[in-house]
Structures are given as structure tokens and as C-alpha cells.
A and B are shown apart, each in its own frame.
Chain A
């Protein structure tokens, strides 16, 4: 399967809703073991919400080996490559079940330090 991104999304791959749309278009193929190529020729503007909801989400749904073997990105410009790189790096350390107690501990620690300093 090959998708010409500009034909589907225009010159912008930025919005959350478009990211979800891309995810829904390709996740079935990837889960069935079929390769998917995304051609970004002509796409000029990129933002993380689009890739979080497409590529970032796919990373939680198929194995890393399958992700690397089956998903191909073509003709991404430097900005696009950077945004995708950051999204992949962020997704790889993400844990869906955030430990709320740990986060509250962390924020309270910071708050205590701020209060000590002021």
C-alpha cells in the first residue's frame, strides 16, 4: 500500500484528526503484515499532533520489529524528519498507564523546593 500524503491531507500534516485518519487508513494493513509506504512529496508543514496520533499510536499497536520492517516514509523534508524523529523517540519511552501517585510526588517535591527558594 502506498499513500500520497499530499493527495489525502494537502500540504499540511499537522492536525490531530488527520493523524487519526491516517492511522485508521493503514493500521489494518500493518497488522496483516503488509508493507505501507507514506510519500510526503509536496507536504510542506508538519506538527507533532499529526504524527502522535498516527505513527506514535501505531508504535503502541504493533511490535517495534514490525514497525521498522513494514512502515516506510518517503520524501520527508528536514522539518518532517525532525518532527517524526521526536515523536518516535517520545513514543518509545511512553507508558500508557501513567503512575499518578508518582507524578503527584514529583510535582509536590518541586513545589516544596519552589517554596523553600521563595
Chain B
């Protein structure tokens, strides 16, 4: 099944194979719009789904909560999950427990699906410290793990503070042993970075003409912030950017019609065809100890 999207679901949303690439995310963003237009209950079918990324899991969970917040009922049809890999993935990362399916313990490579309606630093940091960085995939010192987890918190705090998501923040991750890669995706269903920047600059009527990609590029620069707290801000994304470059990982941001990719080759921000009212941040780290040293982490 391809990644086309019908505007009339006729009651059922068929989830295709969804990886963590741009085409898959653009399908999800279009799906968000379609689901929110439905006036009758939506059934989610995984009949044609042979692959799901942690980002797709976080997105689908968040979309269900968003639809529910708008009185649109969503039912996951668990008997349509016929692909064994997909079924195991949804059970092992805890998604099934949230949405009426059966739990199946916990796989050592899954980083659990989670929903955070409100900012709870200790709960998120326990998750990052114990379930994400602290699972032994990366043999680095405790102090270095703390430093890395601290950088991830910057993603969450940005989502809570700027996202204005009516349903909170959703995340899920995975350790891919074949690629030795650690992935975490964090999504809010708020207004998006470009919308925030335009609102911040709304005293200048030209702000309406600003493209999403140019706004995201501006937001990625050190010290730039839309915060109205009247103190210097805007360090979080800069910390993350330097960190992934040093560790040969990547940081991707989808927000409004912008897609930013940050890796060792630099920063690329471009316009995409779909519009996502919200912000999706996907970070990938290489689990190669040679890429980590405390001096480097601190100085990144």
C-alpha cells in the first residue's frame, strides 16, 4: 500500500508501512487533517502495515488523543495487526496498553511510548535516564549519561513551553542493534515553530509573509527565542545541534511546512508539501563509544 491519503476515510484509516522518513511523516501530517474532519468514529486498521517507526507510534498515539479531545472517537482494531513484527513492536513499546490492546512485557530494545499531558521534569528525566540512555547500549560514564539526558530535556521543555499542545507531548524510541543507533521522537500537536515566530513578530505586518523554513532557520540559531519571559533563552536547540554533529547523529524537525535536518554535513531547512500544526523532533545517536568523551560532551 502506498502513501496516498483519501479525504473520505469511510470510517476506517488504513495505516501503511511507516518508517521515519519524510514521505512517511508527510502521510501522517495529511492524515491528521483528514481524521480531524471526520464526524463519525474512526477505526484504525493495521491490515496493510508491515513496518512502524517509533516516530509513527508516537504520532498515531498523539493523533488519537487529539481526535478524542475534539470528540472524535477512535478505535484501534487490534485484530487487523497481522504482521508479527508490527504486533510485537506495538506490544513491547507499551502502545497497545494505552489503546485497548494486550501488553506483552517489554522488549529490551524498545523505549516505551509515553504521553505527557503536563510538564513533569522528574518523570521525563527518569524515562530518559533509565529507559533511553541508561539501558547499556552506550557504555559511557554516569556523568556523561546525565549530560546527554540533560540535553534531551531541552526538547521536552521546548515542546511544553512553546508547543501550546492541547493534548500534551508524545514520545517513543528504539534502539536499532543492526545500525547501533538510538532513536527518540518527541511530538507536540500545538501551533508549530513558524506559527510561534510569526506570532512573536506580529507587530510587523510583513511577518505574515515569512516562510516556515526561514522561521525554523531563525529559531535554530543560538540565542533566538520567542519566549516572552523577558530573559535570555534560545540555547536548547543550539546544545542539541552541536551534540548530534559531534556524535555523528542527526536531529530532524518537522514543523508547519518546514523540515530541518541537522547532521555532520550541516543544517538543511526546506519547505515540504504538507503542513503540520505542531512540532516533531527526531534525534538519532550513534551508539559508538569512540564518538563520546566527557570533554567533548561538555564542550558541545
Give the interface of A toward B (CB within 8 A): 10, 12, 14-18, 44-49, 52-53, 56-57, 60, 77-79, 81-83, 86-87, 90-91, 93-94, 96, 100-101, 103-104, 106-108, 110-111, 114, 118
In the assembled complex, B261 has its CB within 8 A of some CB on chain A = no
Docked-complex contact A14 and B150, CB < 8 angstroms: yes
Q: B117-128 toward A: CB 8 Å interface, digit per residue (1/0)? A: 001011001000
Q: Roughly how many angstroms separate A52 CA and B204 CA in the complex, as a whole number?
A: 27
The listed residue (A15, A77, A87, A90) touching B119 by CB distance below 8 A is: A15
Please choose the segment from B39-47, B95-103, B215-223 that sits at the chain A interface, where 4 or more of its residues have CB less than 8 A away: B215-223
CB distance B211 to A114 under 8 Å? yes
Secondary structure of the B contact surface, majority rule: helix
Stretch at the interface among B14-22, B73-81, B141-149, B163-171: B141-149
Q: List 17 A-B contacts (CB under 8 A).
A: A15-B119, A47-B153, A47-B157, A47-B236, A57-B229, A60-B231, A81-B298, A86-B239, A90-B235, A100-B204, A100-B207, A101-B204, A103-B218, A108-B206, A108-B209, A111-B210, A114-B213
B178 interface residue (CB < 8 Å to A): no
Q: Which residues of B contact A78 (CB under 8 A)?
A: 143, 294, 298
Q: Please report whether the interface of chain A is mostly helix, strand, loop or mixed according to DSSP.
A: helix
* Contact in complex: B231, A52 (CB < 8 Å): yes
Q: Are B236 and A79 in contact (CB under 8 A)?
A: no
Instruction: Please pick, from B151, B211, B223, B270, the residue contacting A93 in the complex, using a CB distance under 8 A.
Output: B223
Task: Report Cα–Cα, A94/B227, bound state, in Å.
Answer: 12
Number of B interface residues in the complex (CB < 8 A): 48
Q: How many A-B residue pairs have CB under 8 A?
A: 127
Interface residues of B (CB under 8 A from A): 119, 121-122, 125, 129, 142-143, 146-147, 149-151, 153-154, 157, 161, 197, 200-201, 203-204, 206-207, 209-211, 213-215, 217-218, 222-223, 229-236, 239, 269-270, 294, 297-299
In the complex, which residues of chain A have a beta carbon less than 8 angstroms from the beta carbon of B142?
44
Given A107-B218, A108-B210 in contact, is the A45-B232 Cβ separation under 8 Å?
no
A87 partner, pick from B122, B154, B214, B232, beta carbons under 8 A: B232
Q: How far is the CB of A27 from chain B (nearest CB, A)?
A: 13
Partner of A90 from the list B122, B161, B232 (CB cut-off 8 Å) is B232
A79-B146, A100-B203 given as contacts; is B229 within 8 A of A87 (CB)? no
Cβ-closest chain B residue relative to A113: B214
A78 to B269: give the CA distance in the assembly, Å: 33
